[in-house]
Amino acid sequence: MSQAAETDLVERLLDGEHRALARVITKIESRAPGYRDIVSELYGHTGGASVVGITGSPGAGKSTLVDKLAKFYRDRGETVGVIAVDPSSPFTGGAVLGDRIRMASNIGDMDVFFRSMSARGQLGGLSTATADAVKALDAFGKDRIIIETVGAGQNEVDIVKTADTVVVLVQPGSGDDVQMLKAGILEIGDLFVVNKADMSGASRTVAELKEMIHLRDDPRTNLDMGHHGAEAMSHHGMDESEATNGTASDEAGGDDVDGNADGHGDAASESWMPEVVETIATTGEGIDTFVETLDEHYAYLQRTGELDEKAKQRAAEEVRQLLQGDVGALLEAELESQGGIDSFAESIAARETDPYAVTEEILAPLRECLGDDGD
C-alpha cells in the first residue's frame, strides 16, 4: 500500500468509516507492510477511550458478560469497541458467525464494533498487536473499549495489561478457580466478578476472594496466600466479617486505609482495594453494580494520577517489546548472512568454538554501530 493510500485509510478511519477501521485492524493483526506508519498517524488521536480488560478461566461466562456490558454502555449512549483475543487457536479471526452469537444483544448495532484476534503462531507479538488495535478503536472515537481473553494464563495476563482496569472473572465451584488465581493473575486484578452467582457455592467463592484480596494488599501478611487464611486473620486481630468486607479498622484509632480520620483520604495517599462483584450475566443481574464499580475505579485512576502513570508504563513496555522484536530480527538476518544457525551449531558441537564466542561474533556489527565495546 502506498503512502497516499495509507493516509487515505487513516483519514477514512478518523471520519468514522467502520470499513476503514476493520481494514486497519486487519493490517495490524497481520503485521502487513505499512501498518506501523498507520499506527503512528493514529497515535495523536488517541487518549479519549477508557479500556477494560476481562480475563478468567474458560466457562466463567466472559463472552456473555462482555455482551451485557457492551449493551449497558450503549443504553447510556456510549460507543463500544470489543477485541476478543484467543492466544491458543489459529482459527479465530475476523467477524465470523461465532462473533455475532457472542454479541447477541448488540447484533445490528453499528456503534458496537466487535473483532476477534488470534495468535496465529505469534504469541509474543499478540499483546503488541492488541495494543495497536486498541489505539485504532480509540482514534476512531470509541468511548469504551473492552478486551476479552479466552483463557487465564500468562499470555492473557500480558494482553490485559493493555487495559486501564483489569477484571478477573471467577465461576463459583469447588474453589479450584480461586486457587488458580494464586498463580499470578490475582496480582493484576482491579476488580473481581463472581459470575453465575445463582450457582451453589457462590457466597463461599466471594468470601474466599475477599480474604485473598485482603491478604494480597496487607503488607503484614507477606503475601501469604496459602490455606491458612483464617489463621492469618486471627493474627491480625480481625474477625471473619471484617476480612469478608475486605477492610479492617486501624488498630491505632479507626482511621481509614489511607490513614485519614475523615475517611476520604487524599490523591497522594489513596489506594484502591479491589472489589468483588456478583453477577448473573445471562439475565443481566448485577451488571449495573459492575459498571458502577468500573466507573469508580476509572475515577480513582484519574483522581490519583495513576491513569497517566499507567499510560507511561504501557508506553515504556511497548518500546521495549518493539526494540526486542526489531533487534531480534536484525540479529537473525545477520546470523543468516554468516551461514545460518546450523553451521554455527555444528562448529559448537565439534568443540571448534562455543556459544559465547558465536554470540559475540553475531553481535559485533551491532556493537560497532552503537559504540559498545562489550564490557
Q: What is the 3-state secondary structure (H, E, C) of 36-73?
A: HHHHHHHHCCCCCCEEEEEEECCCCCHHHHHHHHHHHH
Phi, psi angle pair for 116, to nearest 5°: -90, 145
Task: Report the amino acid identity of residue 374.
Answer: G
Q: How far apart are CA 323 and CA 138, in angstroms?
A: 24
- At 337, is the secondary structure helix, strand, or coil? helix
Write down the pLDDT at residue 186. Answer: 75
Q: How far apart are CA 281 and CA 222, in angstroms?
A: 35
Q: Which three cell numbers stand for residue 270?
A: 489513596
Residue of 171, 153, 161, 151 lying closest to 51 (CA atoms): 161
Write down the pLDDT at residue 156. Answer: 66
Q: Which three cell numbers stand for residue 280?
A: 448473573
Residue of 53, 120, 59 lying closest to 82 (CA atoms): 53
Write down the pLDDT at residue 353. Answer: 95
R_g of the chain, CA atoms, integer Å: 24
Write down the pLDDT at residue 204. Answer: 85
Q: What is the pLDDT along the chain (375 residues), one digit of tens a residue?
A: 678 888 899 999 999 999 999 999 999 988 899 999 999 999 999 999 999 999 887 778 888 999 999 999 999 999 999 998 876 544 444 433 344 445 556 666 678 999 988 755 454 556 788 899 999 999 999 999 999 887 656 666 777 778 999 998 888 875 655 666 655 677 788 999 988 888 888 888 888 888 888 777 665 554 444 433 333 333 334 444 444 444 333 444 444 444 443 444 455 578 898 899 999 989 999 999 999 999 999 999 999 999 999 999 999 988 998 898 899 888 999 889 888 999 999 999 999 999 999 999 888 888 888 877 666
Domain ranges of the chain: 1-45, 47-249+268-304, 305-375
Write down the pLDDT at residue 111. Answer: 87
Q: How far apart are CA 375 and CA 372, in angstroms?
A: 8
Write down the pLDDT at residue 250. Answer: 42
DSSP at 263: S
Q: How far apart are CA 351 and CA 218, in angstroms?
A: 54
CB 256 within 8 A of CB 263: yes
In the chain the beta strands, taken as DSSP E runs, fall at 50-56, 80-86, 112-118, 144-149, 165-170, 191-194, 275-278
Which CATH superfamily groups domain 47-249+268-304?
A: P-loop containing nucleotide triphosphate hydrolases (3.40.50.300)
CA distances from 100 to 52, 77, 142, 340, 360 (A): 20, 21, 19, 46, 52
Q: Which residues face 53 on adjacent strands?
A: 147, 166
Q: What pTM was estimated for this model as a whole?
A: 0.78
Write down the pLDDT at residue 143. Answer: 96
| DSSP secondary structure string for all residues of 280-310 | BTTTTBTHHHHHHHHHHHHHHHHHHTHHHHH
